[in-house]
Structures are given as C-alpha cells and as structure tokens.
Amino acid sequence: MLRLHLLCRHHHMLRRAVQLVSRSRAASSVSSPAVLAVHGQVTDDPEALRRHTTSRWLYDEQIHLPARYVSFDPQALAREAARVVGAECVRIDKICEGSNNKIYRLNFADGREAIARLPCPLAGPPHLLIASEVATMEFARELLGLPVPKVLAWCSRAESTSVGAEFIIMDVAQGVELDSAWQSLDIGQRMALVKDMAKIQSKFLSLQFAHHGSLYFKADVEGVPHTTDVFADPVASDIPASHRRKYAIGPSVDWELWRGTRKQFDTYRGPWKDCLSLISDTIRCQKAWLARFAKPRLPSDASFLDEEDASPAFHIKVLDQVLSCVPATMPSPELCAPTMWHSDLNRGNIFIDPSTRVVTGLIDWQSTTIGPLYLQANIPRAFVYTGHNIELPSERLGKPRFPENFGSLSRDEKRAVLAEFVDAGTFVWQQNVILEHPLWGAVYRLPKYPLRVNPIHCASRTWTNGLTQLRGLLLRTRDGWAELAGPGTPCPLNFSQEEEDHIRVMMERSDAHEWMVKEVLAHLDTNKHGIVTPQRVDALRELCRDMRAAWDTEEFCGPFPLQPGSRNLYAE
C-alpha cells in the first residue's frame, strides 16, 4: 500500500510538473514578439505600423500625416488577439490605411487569421464610433442575416486597454474583394450581382426603426442622449425580446456631425423622433461651426472665390434658405421613416465567392446611421457609372449609347469605351432593379428627387466645396417649386434678377474651373487632396510647382487647386 501511495504521489507530482512546464511554454509562446510587417514587408520599426506610410501629399503634408497617426502598442494588440482566438499571434501586417482607419491582418500559429481595425483621429468620436459599429455589425449578422464578419473583441476606450488605442478584432471576410474581380465579370454576372445586392439591401427596407440616429448596445450609451424605443410597429412585435432589450438608438455617428473641429463643441446629434428635426439639427451643426470656426477669406487667400463665398455669415444665410425649403419638400411619412443603410458599398467593401460570384461579405460598417429612407437609399457606389464616354438613357428600360465617333477610335480607345459601356449597362440595370422594389422605387420616382436630397447633402460642406453648387440647386428648387411642394404652397425662396444673374455667372465659372482642375489632377495623377505614391512625390511636387506658376486665376476662373492653404475637408 505504501509503495502504491508513493507511486500515486510521484505520478501526481510529475503530472503537476508537466502542467507547469506546459504553462510556462505557453506563456513564453504568448509573450514572444509578433513579427511586424507593412504591406507584406517585414519591419523591425513599430512606428511603421502607426504612421501613415501608404501615401504622400503634394501640399500641406504637415496637416495630413499627424491626423492619420495612430498611437498603439502592436505587441499588446497581438496579446489581445491571442487571448480571444486561443492561439499565438505570430504576425501583424498593416495591409490597408486611409483617412479614417488602419487595417491589420493578424496571423496565428495554428494557421488562422483575423483582422484588426483601428480608427484614426479623423474618423470621429472614438467611443461612439467603435461602439456603434460593433452593435451594428452584430445586429446585421444576427437579426438581418447579412454576411458580416463576426466581431471577436473590441474596445472603445483607449485608456482602458494595454493596446493604447480603440480597436475591433474580427473574422476575415470570406471570398475576394469585388474590386479585384470586377473587370473579369461579364455583363450577365454583373446583373446577377446587382440582383444579389438588391436582395441584401431589401433586408434594410424590411425593418423600420422608431427613431433616427445610430445603433448601440444599451450599456454603451449611458450618459449620452439615447432611447430604448428602437423598433417601430408593427415589426417590433416580430423581433425577439432579447434583441429588443439589447439595443438602443443614440447619437448619430454621421461623419458630417463630428469631422474636424465640429467635435469640439456641443450640439444635439440625436436621436430624433422625426425627419425634420434630424435635418434641422444637421444644418444647425454646420451653422454653428461657421459662426465659431470659419474666418472670412481674404482675396489673397488660396481658397478665395468671391466676396459672398468668402463670408461665413453669407454661408449661414444660404443654409437658412435650405432649411426654409425642407418642410414642404419632404416626401410622405413612409419615405421619411427611420431606416438603417450601409452608405459605403464600394467595390472594396463587398466580397464575393470567386466561383459562384455571390456576395459573401460586407465590411466597413463605420459611421452607419439610421436616417430618413429618402436620404439614405442611395445606389451602391460599386455600380455607379463614373465614366464620360457613354451616354446614359433618360427613360426607364433605355440602353446606354456608344459615342458617335466610336468607329474612328483606335483599338485601345475602343477597348476602354467597351469597358465603360459594360459599367454603364450595370448602372442602368441597377436603376431598373431599384424601380422594381416598392419602397426603394418609390424614392426614385419622387418628382424632382435630386432637388429633395442634394441641397441637404451639400449643406454640410459649403466652406470646403463653395456655395455655387448649392445656390444653383436653390435656383432650380425655386423654378420647380410647384412640382416639389405641390400647387398652392408658397415658395420661401426669392432672388432678385441681379442675384440670379450673379449665381448663373458663378455656375459657369465654376464649371470652367472644375474642368481645368480635373485636367491638372489627371496630369499629376492625383486627387483633389493631392495624394500621390511615396515613390513619385518629389517629381510630382516639382511638376506641381511648375503648373502652379503657369496658372492664371482669372483665365481659369479660380485658384490653383493644389497649394498650401487650399480647401481641405479634413482640416475644417
């Protein structure tokens, strides 16, 4: 018996020792530094994962780079990922970055992968932004049954995590990016894809909410305005009680309400019970920003256009004109109903099965809002025609048209036009699919639909984009008032002949200036923000200086677009 007791005791001690060694090895494994990489290239510099390294700027780079810097501990992120996945995180690779986020691919010792998403300072209010995105993703997965990556871990308060930054860790989206497969799809496959996406978006339209704003878990909106009255009747009774108890609608994370210095002042950002209150408060936010932060522009300023556009007070006056039109131009309550919508369905945010071509993943739910249906239900950017060679039909079921000179084009030019023709056909097909849907189609059948939505969308960016486009829209609103508001409704807009003439002259100058700006941007292979690849920045800066020196402000109807102090959406 004694021998048996000693053997059992020895076996217990041996097993305990093995457990301790295993735990020690596991701890050592977890604490081993993850390999760091940027776009597949290994680096020993953690700053390369924090800095913006993908792009350079032709001007005002000292403003752009700090706004895209994310301070965090990559190894702490690896440990957090290992904890939730249950395997050692062996590699962190920065695979994508933009103005609002940095995306990292996480590789684990057992072969699994995950994605980490960290917001940049430009993205908006960190806690609300992360908390709303996570709640929206879970809602879309569980209640709407959409192909959304599962969130594995998240933190919306940098001070509460060793990572040192807000983050979301999620599964990798299945399939391949539509952007990488787009050119290989024939027109039939694209038409099927449009139908597939329409079915997905119809799920948004099947569920109405009781308030406008953004979706959150209830625990994440304590201390900020919110409501637990989330779902509208009659659908509310069909939603499981667990879901009704889980969610709340709180402040909108619409970027226009938070961008730049707007987050520095208090203004009401939701939730709202009615459509008019949402629109009014959104425009009031812009008015408050203009009154507090915008400084009158001098003729010597790089952004000066004319005296009216240079005056913050005049911008506020024009915004009041927009507000005066809204009550009479809103559509029926059904089309103003609070509706969730993914507002950025570009080809990089849609994933498809490479074999079946069906949608397998939807990503980037940041800044998703619940808003008026007629302002939300846009066409997915993935299917919008952005070319200039194909004439789009003016009537339903019409067909795109080739340019008249198609026969005289070179082989390469014909190939480019044919590619545009397929893009245009996809866009026309998307419009026809929309019109088949009772609610979505009703939005696009609204008389003067663009004049109901475009002034509202333009109102938040007048200081960056100028007043000319918005004032032109208001002229058209006045001219189409009877069709917009119904006969007998007084129009609140009054323009003297002098004002009208001035607006039309400015519209002509704006068109001419825009054409010249596009020529400059195309020549420099950049966009209006002056973004270029790091490899070409020095040569293009020199070319940009030469083009600026040759620019004639009067002849080209406005200032050179790429110079220090130019209008900057991200710097307001």
The structural domain count of the chain equals: 1
Instruction: Report in angstroms the alpha-carbon separations of 165 from 93, 160, 550.
Output: 17, 9, 45
Report whether pLDDT(19) > 90.
Answer: no
Instruction: Evaluate whether residue 133 is within a structural domain.
Output: yes
* Percent share of the chain, pLDDT over 90: 89
Task: Return the minimum-mean-pLDDT range out of 135-149, 237-251, 255-269.
Answer: 237-251
Q: Flag whether 125 is in a domain.
A: yes
Q: What is the pLDDT of residues 359-396, one digit of tens each?
A: 999 999 999 999 999 999 999 999 999 999 999 998 77
* pLDDT score of 31: 60
CA gap 376, 453 in Å, rounded: 10
- What letter does residue 114 receive in the DSSP assignment? E
- Residue 130 located in a structural domain: yes
- The alpha carbon torsion through 537, 541, 547, 548 (nearest 10 deg) reads 130
The two three-digit tokens of residue 203, written as one number: 């799920």
Structure tokens at 374: 């007629």
More confident residue, 35 or 239: 35
Q: Tell which wins on pLDDT, 74 or 12.
A: 74
Q: In the structure encoding, which two tokens stand for residue 125, read together?
A: 């209010």
Mean pLDDT of 108-121: 98
Closest listed residue to residue 483, CA positions, set 456, 446, 455, 457 = 446
H helices of 330-467, where? Answer: 373-376, 411-436, 438-444, 449-458, 462-465
Query: Degrees (nearest 5) of the Cα angle 245, 246, 250?
Result: 105
- Tell me the Ramachandran region of residue 60: left when phi exceeds 0, alpha when psi lies from -120 to 50, beta otherwise: left
Average pLDDT of the residues in 265-277: 98
Q: Where is 132: in which H helix or E strand?
A: helix 126-142
Q: What is the mean pLDDT of residues 69-91?
A: 98
Residue 1, Cβ neighbours under 10 Å: how many? 5
Write out the two tokens for 154. Answer: 């998240």
Q: Beta strands of 231-331 (E only): which ranges?
A: 247-250
Angle at 255 between CA 339 and CA 528, to 5 degrees: 120
Report yes or no: 114 and 171 within 8 Å, Cβ to Cβ: yes
Encoded tokens for 272: 């709202």
How far apart, in whole angstroms, are the C-alpha atoms of residue 148 and residue 342? 12
* Domain limits for position 62: 32-172
Angstrom distance (rounded) from CA 408 to CA 267:
58
For 418-476, how does the pLDDT look when each residue is reduced to its tens digit (9 = 90+)?
999 999 999 999 999 999 999 999 999 999 999 999 999 999 999 999 999 999 999 99
Six token digits for residue 288: 């408050």
Residue 414 to residue 416: CA distance in whole angstroms: 5
What is residue 154's three-state secondary structure? strand
Nearest to 207 by CA among 249, 239, 248: 239
Residue 100 to residue 364: CA distance in whole angstroms: 11
| C-alpha pair distances (Å), 463 with each of 167, 280, 509, 567, 570 | 32, 18, 18, 8, 12
Please, are residues 354 and 316 in contact by the beta-carbon 8 Å criterion?
no
pLDDT at 241: 86
pLDDT score for 32 = 86
Kindly report the CATH number assigned to the domain that includes residue 59: 3.30.200.20
Query: What does the pLDDT look like over 300-333, one tens digit per residue?
Result: 999 999 999 999 999 999 999 999 999 999 999 9
* Segment among 27-41, 278-292, 346-360 with least mean pLDDT: 27-41
Cα R_g (the chain), whole angstroms: 27
From residue 111, give the alpha-carbon distance in Å to each of 39, 88, 90, 177, 361.
19, 10, 10, 21, 21
CA distances (Å), origin 54, targets 38, 161, 241, 346? 9, 27, 46, 20
Residue 131 domain-assigned (yes or no):
yes
